[in-house]
A and B are shown apart, each in its own frame.
Chain A
Amino acid sequence: MNPTQLDEVVVTATRTPRTMGNLAIPVSIVGSKTLYQSGSLRLNDILSEQTGLMITDNFGKGIQMQGLSSEYTLILLDGEPLIGRTGGVLDLSRITIRNIRKIEIIKGPSSSLYGSEAMGGVINIITDRAGQNKLDGSLRYARFSTADGSINFSKKFNQADLQFSSNYNRSEGYSLKPFALQKTVEPFWKSVQQLSYNQILSSHWKAGAGIRFNNTHIDNSISVQNLGNTILSKGFEKNGEFNLTPYVQYQVDQKIKSVLRGYVTGFNAVQKLEVKDAYGSYNDAFKQLFARLEQQTDIHPSKFSTLTLGGGLIKEEVSSNRYDSLSTVRKNQIAYIFAQHEQLISDKLTIIGGARFDANKAYASVMSPKLSLQYKIDSYWSFNLSYGRGFKAPDFRQLYLNFTNLAAGAYSVFGTEVAVPEIKRMSTAGLLEQTTDMYSRLSALKPETSGGLNIGFKYQHSNHINANLNLFRNDLSNMIVTDIIAYKKSGGQVYSYFNLKSALTQGAELNVSKQLSKKIHIQSGYQYLFTADKEVLNAIKNGMVYQRNQTTNLVTRMKISDYGGLSFRSRHSANLKAYYENAKGFFATSRLIYRGRWGTTDLDGNGLINRSDEYAKGYLQLNCSAGIQLNSNWKFMTGVDNIFNYKDIYNLPGNPGRVGYLDIQFNF
């Protein structure tokens, strides 16, 4: 956070505009200047430089926040949730930040306002608003024949505004392994088009709509090593996404404002592979549709309080040949209401309480309360406390998946809604050896839930120095895992989903920023993170867990201090960023990002991360950029990411090493 941003307005934290200095929960903002000067192109680029956020590289670029994985973080685009997750991951590289005004990052559960997925936190990407008439374009060229082009247009009329933006991004991809038959990242292109229009209808009424199309195309030439035989296949992967966002706003008077918002979004993914030799072709299709109608009313009964009331209806549809045939459409409907009250008790104390109730057909209903307070100790120090509940609805895969892998031991995975009929069918057909105890425990899935506590201390001294410390703890329960429900006569296993696991993540995040001089500003952050599977933690405490020493092969009981927690979590991560800017329009940045070692694979057979060889090595990455604004029309920038050229073929396939780029922006 930049100290000058203390009075910057945040909308995501309470669903109403609030200044940064007056928030009771951990929030950070990345503004347009930082976005531009950091030379970021896609959302994952800039998020990877923020304290406490990790980018994961499985099913696309995912985000890890407060130690919670991608499926537990809600990604909003102008306040509306993005859909189209694969394996729980919403690929952040789908999102261009060329037309982004700012990014708001809210940590800790916010399901009381946003519903499902807002367990670890919420990231709201806020696109450019038409404040002025402008037409600008930008071009970027980088290593691996990466090219990126953008055009942004906005026009302000008397009672209306219009904006359009378009982005195209392509790359040849790269190979980290020389002589490999398959590139680490295959050639791809991505495009985004966005159009929005707002119209003031009267002194009370305002309406508008936005539409956005996002397309991705990836070449696929996959070579599978099947026990000595190399099977080559050629194909492609294609994702299409659209969003439609109409709204009507009614401002009764200064005290009451009401907004009715519609939201329709669709995600369509196709993967086709033509396999050489006689293996045939592979065809994977996934379609998702999400429609929502939501009403929110903000009431200010007095200047000391704000009441926010709302409710909505969601209709979701999914079809995929992963579940069954594409023609079978799975549907769910959700109805929800929420309320939040903010009260200034005194000059020093603000309390916010809220709750949301989600009811639906496919799984159990859920209530998400939240309570937070801010206490201003003096003009420098303030204290925040917040507790909230978050949830994540079981996804369609966990409910409806009907998958049999013929290649690997002929195992099957069935969603809970289809498992019983499938087992009965297999039993009748004489395919089953036996069912397990878990089969009798199959029941309707409950949402995964969490309780998150955040305790924060902030220090702010004019605009020169700003520090904040946030302590967090998240307790996750009813986490959904697979377990064996039956064995086939062929020896294969049959899996389904259960609410079985519980886990915890806790830690501390520290951010300090200081304006060293008029021209130089530095920021630094650190996160300490401890994560654990609670069942494992208990087993270790009870002396039931063992480990094998790498060199002596000696087996010993594991201690808590040996336990590396959940995999893919770094205990330590930090950053140090310096920004220089002079009055002549020249800027330079240097951002040093550290990610401590993280657990990857169990190697000593206990299924846990404990041995030093079970971790990926920690690393330092230095990104630098410099640029100049020549006049009001031209801006030039150049930069190098990953100057140390750090690479880890196995654990960081998404990191190609050192990348240089040139960037031009022009204003018509």
Chain B
Amino acid sequence: MKKSNVIALVLLSTVFFYACTKDENTSGTNTTLTQNVVKDLMADTIVGLSNGQPVGAGKFTFYSLESNAIVASTDSNSTKWDLAFRGTTILTNAGTSGPGAGGAFIYNGTFDELKTVPVDSVIKKDNYPTSYAITTGSNKGWYVYDGVNNLITPIPGRVLVIKTAKGNYAKVEIINYYKGGTTPAPSAADDIKLKTQRFYTFRYVHQAKGTASFQ
């Protein structure tokens, strides 16, 4: 696994630059929150087939947005992590998933447009097995599953507004679900589609001061 903490990653430099200039124009301040990009975060990658179905080890990967680092799974029952990834399921640290003050909701719009958590937002908590704060299933939460080509694609215009375990806000955009941040071509072999999936690329902005602003 590879992760990087790059402010202006080549991939997103234009985005970020655009965001910066826009911030200056609208708010008139130069203080901007850091945008973090996490690449190839393994989320229970597939280890084999069982009855013809792909299976991973069944383990979540725990991640701290506050410290931009993976958290050991032995700390799963702590407030050290904010998000946990296993396949397409993403947990937040609250409710049935953890002891934190976390939660989430899905915002429709672009990542850059989301400058403040809307006042009327309803933060949901995980309630296993009935529902998750980040709704699971194709075309319901953050991704769509193409059953013909067997591909998972993040839905553009869906931003995950996360409450961290400590109760701070973060906005997260899932960019890709495949290794290297590149979705295999629809014509690629099933084998490649299986082996390269469950590698998250996402970017996020985290407000450590406890306000609802991402500026």
Listed in ascending order, the chain A residues whose CB lies under 8 Å from chain B are 225-229, 408, 544-548, 552-557, 601-607, 649-650
Contact = CB atoms under 8 A, between A and B. Distances in A.
B146 interface: yes
Interface stretch (B94-102, B182-190, B205-213): B182-190
Contact of A555 (B11, B110, B191): B110
Given A227-B54, A603-B186, A556 B110 contact: yes
Contacts of B6: none
Interface of B: 11-12, 14-15, 49, 52-54, 108-111, 139, 143-144, 146-149, 153-157, 173, 175-176, 181, 183, 186-187, 190-191, 194
Given A225-B190, A555-B156, A603-B183, 7 more contacts: A228-B194, A545-B157, A546-B155, A548-B154, A554-B14, A602-B144, A607-B144
Contacts of A548: 154, 156
Contacts of B12: 552-554
Nearest to A229: B52
A546 B110 contact: yes
A605 B154 contact: yes
B49 A546 contact: no
A602 B110 contact: no
14 contacts: A227-B52, A228-B190, A229-B52, A408-B147, A546-B155, A553-B12, A553-B181, A555-B173, A557-B157, A604-B156, A605-B144, A605-B155, A605-B156, A650-B186
A547 B108 CA distance: 12
Contact of B157 (A228, A408, A606, A650): A606
A225 B187 CA distance: 13
A228 B14 contact: no
Given A555-B157, A602-B146, A603-B153, A226 B175 contact: no
A370 to B, nearest CB: 39
Question: Which 5 pairs between the two chains have the least Cβ-Cβ distance?
Answer: A546-B157, A605-B153, A546-B156, A548-B156, A605-B155
Contact of B15 (A552, A603, A649): A552
Contacts of B139: 607
A603 B110 CA distance: 18
A604 B143 CA distance: 10
B186 A227 contact: no
A118 to B, nearest CB: 31
Nearest to A649: B187
B104 to A, nearest CB: 18
B146 A544 contact: no
A283 B40 CA distance: 45
A437 to B, nearest CB: 14
Contact of B11 (A228, A546, A552): A552
Contacts of A605: 143-144, 153-156
B112 to A, nearest CB: 9
A226 B54 CA distance: 11
A452 B3 CA distance: 56
Given A227-B194, A228-B191, A552 B14 contact: yes
A315 B66 CA distance: 70
Given A555-B111, A601-B186, A227 B15 contact: no
A500 B137 CA distance: 22
Nearest to A553: B175
A604 B148 CA distance: 15
B155 A228 contact: no
A122 B201 CA distance: 51
Contacts of A553: 11-12, 15, 175-176, 181
A57 to B, nearest CB: 15
A552 B14 CA distance: 8
A552 B53 CA distance: 33
Which of A225, A544, A552, A554 has the most B CB atoms < 10 Å from its CB? A554
Contacts of B49: 227-228
Nearest to A602: B146
A605 B158 CA distance: 10
Which of A545, A546, A603, A605 has the most B CB atoms < 10 Å from its CB? A605
Contacts of B194: 227-228
B171 to A, nearest CB: 13
